[in-house]
Amino acid sequence: MHYFLQDHKCFLCKILICKLGYSHYSSISSYTSLFHMQHNKVYDTEEYYHRLHIFTENRREIDHHNAGNHSFTMGLNQFSDMTFEEFRKLFLLTEPQNCSATTGGHVNRAGPYPEFVDWRMKDNVVTPVKNQGHCGSCWTFSTTGCLESVNAIATGKLIPLSEQQLIDCAKDFNNHGCMGGLPSQAFEYIKYNKGLMTEEDYPYKGHDDSCHFEPALAAAFVLDVVNITSYDEKAMVDAVARLNPVSFGFQVTADFMHYREGVYRSTQCKNTADKVNHAVLAVGYGVEESGMPYWIVKNSWGTAWGMDGYFLIERGKNMCGLAACSSYPLLLI
C-alpha cells in the first residue's frame, strides 16, 4: 500500500514524529520534500521507515563532513536514501575492469599550457549532462561524451550519440553492458564496427538488449584509439589543453556519492587501475584560489547531482586512480 498521495503526507509525518521524536522532524521534512517532491520516489510504510533511517544516517554524515575543514562539500541528492552498497550495485562498474593502457600512444608536447581550460566554454562542443539511470553504463556515457566532442571540434556539428548501441553491441570487446566496460574498449568497438549511431536513431533504454545496429545510420567513426600511458597525468593535461576532452576511469567511494561542490579529494579511495569502478569525461582543468589544481569532469548521473552534473577533482596526484586508465579517439572523417 502506498502512502505518499497528497492527502496522506501530513498524517504520516505526524506518525513519524511521534515514533522518532521531534529531533528527527527536520529529517522527516527534508526527506519528504526532497524525495517525494523532487525525485518522485514512492514507498510503502515499512520501506519508508527503512529509507528514512538510511537518509538520516547519510544526512548525519553529510553534516559532519561539512562541519570540518575540507576542499569539497557534501549535500543531499537523489542517492541520499540509499546505502553505498546499494548505490554501488546500481550505478558503478561491477565487472572487473582490466585497463590495458599501461603504455599509450599519446605523444606529449612541451607546452606551455593555459592555466585554465574548459571545453564547455567553446562554441557547442560538449553535449548536456545525461543520466545513466539504474545501469552500470557510465563507460558508454564517457565514450559518447568524448566522441561527441571530438567530432564537434573537427566538424562543427555537435551530435548526441548512442550509449544504448554500446550497451547492446560492444560485448565482443570485453564490455559487459550494464555490468561495466571501458571507454578504450568501446572506442575499439566503434573503430572495427564501422561507426556509432545517434542517440535519436538508437535511443537509450538503460538495460541490456539485443544489438540493433544499422550501419547505414552510423553518424560518427573512429580511425584509432589513443591510450594515455598509465599514471601519466601530465599527458592528460597535454591532451585536454591541446586536443579535446579525455575519457578516464577512477574509483568511487562512499564520500563521492554525496558530493555537492568544491574540489573532491579522498583518503578512502585507492589509486590503482584494478580499483577503477566509474568512467567519466575530463572537459577541462584549472587551479583553485588556494593553489589546488583540479580537473573539471562531466558525470552521467543527471543535473541534480553535484555541480549541475559536473564535479571537480584534485589534479596532479592521481587522485582515486584517475590517471590509471585514460583515452580518447582519433576521428575518421
Active-site residue, from 99, 135, 138, 146: 138
Give the helix ranges, DSSP H, for 203-304.
233-242, 254-257
Cα separation, 91 vs 86, in Å, equals: 9
Residue 208: helix, strand or coil by DSSP?
A: coil
| Cα dihedral 263, 99, 228, 119 sign | negative
Burial of 2 (0-12, 13-18, 19+ CB in 10 A): exposed
| Cα dihedral 74, 76, 78, 80 sign | positive
CB atoms inside a 10 Å sphere around CB 108? 14
Cα separation, 262 vs 265, in Å, equals: 9
Active-site residue 278, yes or no? yes
All cell numbers assigned to 75 = 549535500
Active-site residue 318, yes or no? no
Cα separation, 169 vs 140, in Å, equals: 11
Bridge partner residues of 327 (DSSP): 227, 247
117-118 and 278-287 as β-strands: parallel, antiparallel, unpaired?
A: antiparallel
Active-site residue, from 106, 193, 278, 325: 278
293-298 and 310-314 as β-strands: parallel, antiparallel, unpaired?
A: antiparallel
| 59-63, Cβ contacts within 8 angstroms, sequence gap of 24 or more | 59/27, 59/30, 61/258, 62/258
Picking from 87, 90, 63, the residue whose alpha carbon sits closest to that of residue 76 is: 63
**What region does 269 belong to: left with phi over 0, alpha with psi -120 to 50, or beta?**
beta
- Give the CA dihedral 139, 141, 143, 145, nearest 10 degrees: -150
Active-site residue 77, yes or no? no
Catalytic annotation, residues: 138, 278, 299
